[in-house]
Amino acid sequence: MSTVLLIFCILSAITLATAFLTIFTKQPIHSAIYLVLCFVSVAGHYLLFNAQFLAVVHIIVYSGAIMILFLFTVMLMNLNKEDEVHKPRVTRLAAGIIFILTSLVLLAVFIQTKPIVGPYDETGVDYQSIKVLGQVLLNEYMVPFEFASVLLLVAMIGAVLLSKREKTEKN
């Protein structure tokens, strides 16, 4: 067994285990922490593909920002066992069906995909390097990229403005 395969197996085990633990843990904080571990191990999968940029951005955005906000709110809510809402049976059934359908779609997609072999090895260009990635993003995907950035900027300015308005009303 090659080293990469071994690492892959270990990482997959961690990913799956933490993902299941996320769902099955009663304690919300533990569940959030398992999710963080899951995200980190997914970043490890990206690294196995030599996708450094994706891996690091994944860690920054998901484990570094989103999950911290998650933990933040969960810690503040002080969830106890008594507060647990009893889900009606219909909801559970619906959730089960949606889960099965989604996995079917995903499975179908995986079966249909063909591994791309060839040009990547031959050209010798490191397509995962951030230079190539940047060029692709700003040439081929210029418009969606800019739209996304404007959207984020607007959201950020909105947040700043929201906090500002409160102040002016007070005066």
- Chain positions contacting another protein, by CB under 8 A: 29-30, 33, 36, 40, 52-53, 56-57, 59-60, 63-65, 68-69, 71-72, 75-76, 129-131, 153, 156, 159-160, 163-164
29 and 75 in contact (C-beta within 8 Å)? yes
DSSP state of 114: -
Evaluated on CA atoms 15, 21, 24, 29, the torsion sign reads negative
Closest CB to another protein among residues 12, 73: 73
Tell me whether residue 73 or residue 103 sits nearer to another protein (CB atom): 73
Count CA within 13 A, CB hemisphere, residue 106: 6
Backbone Cα Rg of the chain? 21
**Helix and strand totals (H; E) in the chain:** 8, 0
Closest separation in Å from C-beta 163 to another protein = 6
Q: For the CA atoms of 109, 144, 41, 106, what is the dihedral angle to 10 degrees?
A: -10
**Closest separation in Å from C-beta 65 to another protein:** 6
Angle at 107 between CA 96 and CA 91, to 5 degrees: 10
Smallest separation, CB 130 to another protein (Å) = 5
Least Å from the CB of residue 2 to another protein: 15
Dump strand ranges (E) for 5-155: none
Nearest distance in Å: CB 86, another protein: 23
Looking at the Cβ atoms of 100 and 152, the one nearer to another protein is 152
Please give the structure tokens belonging to residue 14: 């961690």
CB-nearer residue toward another protein: 22 or 52: 52
Nearer to another protein, 87 or 164 (CB): 164
